[in-house]
Amino acid sequence: MGVLRKPRLSPYLFTLLTFIVFITILYGEDFICIFGQLEPIPGRAISRPVKKREKLAFAIGKSEEKCDVFKGRWVRDELTRPLYEESECPYIQPQLTCQEHGRPDTEYQKWRWQPHGCDLP
């Protein structure tokens, strides 16, 4: 009578399964959102398209119908810009800080978006 061997999991298969579990834990919610199977989480910001005639609370329009914050141009504003120092802002992710990553100038901070037909405070 032969000796019964206990079935073993191949190290390659084990590594693959471990990797899949790791990726699922890291990106599972993103994958579910992509495939549209996740209901919105209460209290979480959800982006939605802005209707053409919808009034935007943050835009001060000269006339309500002509205010489209998505159409405009970049204008140089040396009087009120920059609003803050990059190193003082706790909301900028470290990967996105231009100054800490060696950008020598600060001229890019003196530009603001000016929509046609309205002002952004």
How far apart CA 12 and CA 21 sit, in angstroms, is 14
pTM for this predicted structure: 0.42
In whole numbers, what is the pLDDT of the chain averaged over residues?
A: 76
Kind of pairing between the strands at 118-119 and 60-61? antiparallel
Q: What pLDDT score does 93 carry?
A: 84
| Residue 37 reports pLDDT greater than 70 | no
H or E, element range at 68: strand 68-76
Q: What pLDDT score does 107 carry?
A: 87
How does pLDDT run across 60-84, given as a tens digit for each residue?
655 556 677 888 999 998 888 888 8
Record the tokens describing residue 118, joined without a space: 């309205």
H or E, element range at 75: strand 68-76
59 vs 93: which has the higher pLDDT? 93
How far apart CA 27 and CA 79 sit, in angstroms, is 43
